[in-house]
Each structure stands twice: as C-alpha cells, then as structure tokens.
C-alpha cells in the first residue's frame, strides 16, 4: 500500500539515522497526544472489545515492547488506536545499552535489525513515571498497560539466584503499576539471556516473579513469558507445557530472530547491519508457525499474544484464526506510520 507516509519514509526518513528518526517520530506522537486523546482525535481509538487474562481490551491490537522503553508516551500511543501498549523492556537497574550505531533498516524486506541491548532508565525510575501518570489520569481510561521486564546486563546469566533476584527487584517496583507483566528471556542482545529459556531455568524465574507480584499487589497481575522464534519446535512445546504447569496467564510469541535466511536485501547491506535481532515482515511465517504449535498444546487454557511480521489486517486476522487472543506490532508501525493501527483494526473488524 502506497501513501504519503510511505513515500516520505522511503525517500526521506531512510536517509536519517534510524535511532534519531525513532526519537523524532516518537516526540511528534507525544506532542500530538493531547489532541489525539481529546475531542479532535476521539475517532482514532477503534473499539472492538476482547477479554484476555481477565482484562478487557478495547481491541486486539497492541504495540509491542521496545518502542516506548521508559513509559513516556503510553496515552499518546493509545490514542492512535492501540488497545494495549507494552512498555520496556525495563531492567532492574538503568543501563545505556549497546554502543551506537545499533539500529538498522532493511527496507527491501520491510525489516529492522536492532542490537539496542535493553537501554532504559531502570525499574525504579520507570515506576515513578507510571505512578505520576496514574495520578494525572485520575481514573480516566487509557490503553491496557503491559510492563515487559528483562535481566540487567551485568547480572551473570549462569548465576540463577542473582538472575532471580534481579527479576524480583523489577517486579517489586513495577507490578503495582502494571495491568499485566511479561518476563522477557528472548532478546538476542543481552549476552546469555536466551539461555534462560531452558525450562529448568525459566520455571524458577517465573515462579519467583509470580510470588513477588502477589506480595506487592492487592490484585492478581497477569503474568506472561515472551519467547524467541529461534527455539526448536520441541522447546516451544516444552515451554508451553511449563507455562501450563506454573499457571501462567499467557505466552507472547515471538521476539526478534537471529536468522537472516530468505532476505531480499543485498548481502552487503545485511552484513553491514551486523549482529542483532531481526524484526518485521521476514518473521511472518515462523511467528505464525510457533503460534500454531503453542495453541496445539495450551488450547484455550492460556491467552496467546502473537507478534512478529504482522503488517496488514489480513496478517493480524490470520493470527487470530490460528489461536491468538491479542496481536502486537512494532516494525510495521515504523514503516507504515501513525495510521497503520487503524488499517490493521479495520482488517480485523471484517473477520
């Protein structure tokens, strides 16, 4: 689909450093937030309610973690049409992330490579911002808020007790402000993080996060885990069985991939982008396949959030038909612009 934003992106924005372009675009969205959220923008919020893990979402489409790492634009993003916004990934302690440049576009594939490395202000700072937001809103409705938490880089992945303590620290700070929590063990950009997807390590982490969340809240905060598309099929099944055993509320599938198979971009451009997680259209088939594998194991007992390669309303509809309760996007939002959520929701509404 071609339009003014697509032309602007392809001819102008691709000439700007991707991380600088992200900050500029996000600043523009936040500046427009009061208008979008008020009378003039009331029509931007598309309502097609769905219930997942005990929460009522205005619609099935959410913005995946990674766009708003520090919870600075939740309501402006919700006003664009997203029924939920997942902030983060937030780590226990502030960290700068990996050296720049660390974000690269592959326009021929409608894809992005990132090795951001969980750059964020840390759990306590984000918790303070969420508390201030709640005080400002005075109970006014907004998008459902997901909080995605990950491991601080300096915590060694082979010290399970330290890893658990790090996730517990984040949970204590953030669970009171979250509508739901997601444990992220699937980013490829924190050394050793994906090793924590092994069931024998993942189960005690999730059990500790569940216990801690229950200790610091008066309500039960739903808990999900986010997995990688690069897991072997048997490992996907094992995680699904474990999620049922520890009574998680859902699974988010999938994160970015380290694979570069099947790309249309010139090999030299892919090589120049270097290491990191690939997101966008190339994930479409694998993400859908993982969703079907999870659904075959969990049935209707867990909510499944499908993310990865969702570009069109038809893509989103295919995920719902394959068993997803909710869908999320990120890279397509970057490529398609602020009206993208409405186009996807229009496709979903025709189901």
Q: Look up 187 and say whether it is catalytic.
A: yes
Separation between Cα atoms, residue 224 and residue 206, nearest integer Å? 9
pLDDT digits (tens, 9 = 90+) for 124-143: 999 999 999 999 998 788 99
Tell whether 233 is in a known binding site.
no
Q: What is the mean pLDDT of the chain?
A: 93
331 DSSP β-pair partners: none
Angle 174-223-149 (CA atoms, 0-180°, nearest 5)?
45
Nearest residue to 167 (alpha-carbon basis) of 222, 220, 204, 117 = 204
Beta strands 55-57 and 50-52 are antiparallel
Tell whether 331 is in a known binding site.
yes
Lowest mean pLDDT among 3-17, 70-84, 272-286: 3-17
φ and ψ of 149, to 5 deg: -115, 145
Mean pLDDT of 237-261: 97
Instruction: For residue 312, count other CB atoms closer than 10 A to its CB.
Output: 17
According to DSSP, residue 64 is labeled: P
Separation between Cα atoms, residue 128 and residue 134, nearest integer Å? 10
Tell whether 184 is in a known binding site.
yes
Residue 72 pLDDT: 98
φ and ψ of 239, to 5 deg: -65, -40
* Backbone φ/ψ region at 54: left (φ over 0), alpha (ψ -120 to 50), beta: left
Question: Is the distance from CB of 177 to CB of 147 less than 8 angstroms?
Answer: yes
Catalytic hit among 170, 186, 187, 287: 187
pLDDT digits (tens, 9 = 90+) for 142-197: 999 999 999 999 999 999 999 999 999 999 999 999 999 999 999 999 999 999 99
Secondary element (H or E) of residue 346: helix 340-349
> Above 60 in pLDDT, residue 234?
yes
Residue 350 pLDDT: 65
Which one has a higher pLDDT value, 72 or 44?
Answer: 72
Tell whether 120 is in a known binding site.
no
Residue 8 pLDDT: 64
Separation between Cα atoms, residue 322 and residue 288, nearest integer Å? 8
The structural domains of the chain, ordered by start, are: 4-349 (3.20.20.70)
Residue 44 pLDDT: 52
> If pLDDT is split at 50, 70 and 90, which confidence band does 265 have?
very high
Question: Is the distance from CB of 206 to CB of 223 less than 8 angstroms?
Answer: yes
Please state the pTM of the whole predicted model.
0.94
> Above 50 in pLDDT, residue 39?
no
Separation between Cα atoms, residue 301 and residue 4, nearest integer Å? 43
Separation between Cα atoms, residue 118 and residue 94, nearest integer Å? 9
* Backbone φ/ψ region at 280: left (φ over 0), alpha (ψ -120 to 50), beta: left
Tell whether 151 is in a known binding site.
no
Separation between Cα atoms, residue 328 and residue 310, nearest integer Å? 8
Tell whether 69 is in a known binding site.
yes
Displacement of CA 77 from its chain's centroid (Å): 13
Tokens of 211: 């216990």
Tell whether 67 is in a known binding site.
yes
Mean pLDDT of 297-318: 98
Mean pLDDT of 309-335: 97
According to DSSP, residue 30 is labeled: H
Tokens of 90: 């937030």
> Above 60 in pLDDT, residue 88?
yes
Separation between Cα atoms, residue 342 and residue 339, nearest integer Å? 6
Residue 9 pLDDT: 66
């Amino acid at each position: 689909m071609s339009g003014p934003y697509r032309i602007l992106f392809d001819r102008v924005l691709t000439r700007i450093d991707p991380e600088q372009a992200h900050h500029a675009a996000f600043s523009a969205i936040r500046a427009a937030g009061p208008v979008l959220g008020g009378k003039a923008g009331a029509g931007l919020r598309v309502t097609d309610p769905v219930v997942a893990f005990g929460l009522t979402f205005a619609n099935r489409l959410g913005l995946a973690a990674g766009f708003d790492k520090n919870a600075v634009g939740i309501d402006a993003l919700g006003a664009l049409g997203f029924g939920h916004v997942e902030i983060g990934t937030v780590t226990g302690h502030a960290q700068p992330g990996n050296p720049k440049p660390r974000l690269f576009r592959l326009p021929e594939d409608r894809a992005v490579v990132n090795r951001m490395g969980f750059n964020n202000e840390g759990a306590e700072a984000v918790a303070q911002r969420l508390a201030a937001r709640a005080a400002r809103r005075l109970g006014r409705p907004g998008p459902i808020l997901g909080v995605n938490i990950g491991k601080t880089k300096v915590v060694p992945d082979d010290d399970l007790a330290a890893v658990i303590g790090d996730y517990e620290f984040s949970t204590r700070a953030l669970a009171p402000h979250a509508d739901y929590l997601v444990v992220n063990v699937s980013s490829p950009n924190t050394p050793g993080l994906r090793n924590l997807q092994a069931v024998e390590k993942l189960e005690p982490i999730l059990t500790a996060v569940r216990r801690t969340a229950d200790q610091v809240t008066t309500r039960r905060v739903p808990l999900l885990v986010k997995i990688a598309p690069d897991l072997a099929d048997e490992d996907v099944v094992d995680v699904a069985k474990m999620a049922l055993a520890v009574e998680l509320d859902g699974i988010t599938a999938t994160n970015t991939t380290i694979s570069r198979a099947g790309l249309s971009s010139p090999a030299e451009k892919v090589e120049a982008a270097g290491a990191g997680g690939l997101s966008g259209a190339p994930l479409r088939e694998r993400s859908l396949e993982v969703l079907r594998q999870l659904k075959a194991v969990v049935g209707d007992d867990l909510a499944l959030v499908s993310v990865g390669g969702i570009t069109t309303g038809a893509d989103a509809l295919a995920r719902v038909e394959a068993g997803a309760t909710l869908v999320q996007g990120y890279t397509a939002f970057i490529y398609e612009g602020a009206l993208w959520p409405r186009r996807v929701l229009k496709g979903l509404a025709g189901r």
